[in-house]
Chain A
Amino acid sequence: QTPLTQPASVSGAPGQSITIPCAGTSSDVGGYNFVSWYQQHPGKAPKLMIYDVSNRPSGVSIRFSGSKSGNTASLTISGLQAEDEADYYCSSYSTSITPWVFGGGTKLTVL
């Protein structure tokens, strides 16, 4: 069981928008703004997409946005493109037994 909870899969058609939730607790997501999102294509290393809940690193498309409400963070991808098909992981600082935790990952399928 992973510390942060994500749906195993989501899907959407090209051009549509999807949102991936990441549920935590007040000891991680809800208590701190150190939430990030990573994209991982098969056989590749992860890529940082969002940091500090809602900031995009240089070079990341504006179609990717992050937010947080209470103990749940969310990644929204607008204008879905075929290249967005990948696994997405949320991560947060935590005051539990491990300082940085990940969600179990969500497989995005672009229909």
Chain B
Amino acid sequence: EVQLLESGGGLVQPGGSLTLSCAASGFSFGTYAMAWVRQAPGKGLEWVSAINDRGSPNYAHSVKGRFTISRDNSKNTLFLEMNSLRPEDTAIYYCTKDAGYSSGWYGDYWGQGTLVTVSS
């Protein structure tokens, strides 16, 4: 059974930093692209960042230069390092596994999310 378990969320002041982790199990982690998608309270989904199986990253314009995605295939873990956090980064952050259906990114498994709150 595929499981994705996020951790690392919490309350942080504007300008602060936080690193999210996603522990994956139930599939061959190193052979799939992974991504982070966030959802502000009461709002819609926003794609944040993805990393392919070779470690090549992509970022949304809103986080480029502030967030860094990485993965440790030996530990089946995905990370999102977030710096220079802003109030508008407040959201539930979901870890997702790419389905691998085609060249497109499709999240076929999602974690339950971890809440990040940026506030003074």
A100 touches B47 (CB 8 A): yes
Main secondary structure of the interface of B (DSSP, over half): loop
Interface string of A43-81 (1 = CB under 8 A from B): 001111001100101000000000000000000000000
Which chain B positions have C-beta within 8 A of A97?
A: 61
Q: Which residues of B contact A104 (CB under 8 A)?
A: 44
- Please indicate the chain A residues that have their CB under 8 angstroms from the CB of B106 in the complex: 36, 48, 51
Contact A52 B45 (CB under 8 A): no
Chain A contact patch, size range:
20 to 34
> Chain A nearest CB: distance from B72 CB in Å?
23
Tell me if B61 and A93 are in contact (CB < 8 A): no
| A21 on interface, CB distance cutoff 8 Å | no
Residue on A nearest B61 in the bound complex, by CB: A97
Q: Is the CB of A98 within 8 A of B44?
A: no
Residues of A within 8 A of B46 (CB): 102
Main secondary structure of the interface of A (DSSP, over half): strand
Q: Are B105 and A55 in contact (CB under 8 A)?
A: no
- In the bound complex, residues from chain A placing their C-beta under 8 Å from that of B102 are 34, 51-52
Taking a contact as CB atoms under 8 Å apart, the answer to whether A34 and B99 are in contact is no
Q: In the complex, A106→B17 CA distance in Å?
A: 33
Decide yes or no whether B104 CB sits under 8 A from chain A.
yes
Q: Which residue numbers of B lie inside 8 Å of A, CB to CB?
A: 37, 44-47, 50, 58, 60-62, 94, 99, 101-108, 110-113
Interface CB pairs A-B, < 8 A, 29:
A2-B44, A34-B102, A36-B106, A38-B45, A45-B113, A46-B94, A46-B107, A48-B108, A51-B101, A51-B102, A52-B102, A57-B99, A57-B101, A57-B108, A91-B45, A91-B47, A93-B104, A93-B105, A98-B61, A98-B62, A99-B47, A99-B58, A100-B47, A100-B50, A101-B47, A102-B44, A102-B45, A102-B46, A105-B45
Given A40-B45, A98-B61, A104-B44, 15 other A-B residues pairs in contact with their CB atoms under 8 A: A2-B44, A34-B103, A38-B45, A45-B113, A46-B37, A48-B99, A48-B107, A51-B101, A55-B101, A89-B44, A91-B45, A97-B61, A99-B47, A100-B105, A105-B45
User: Chain A interface (Cβ within 8 Å of chain B)?
Assistant: 2, 34, 36, 38, 40, 45-48, 51-52, 55, 57, 89, 91, 93, 97-105
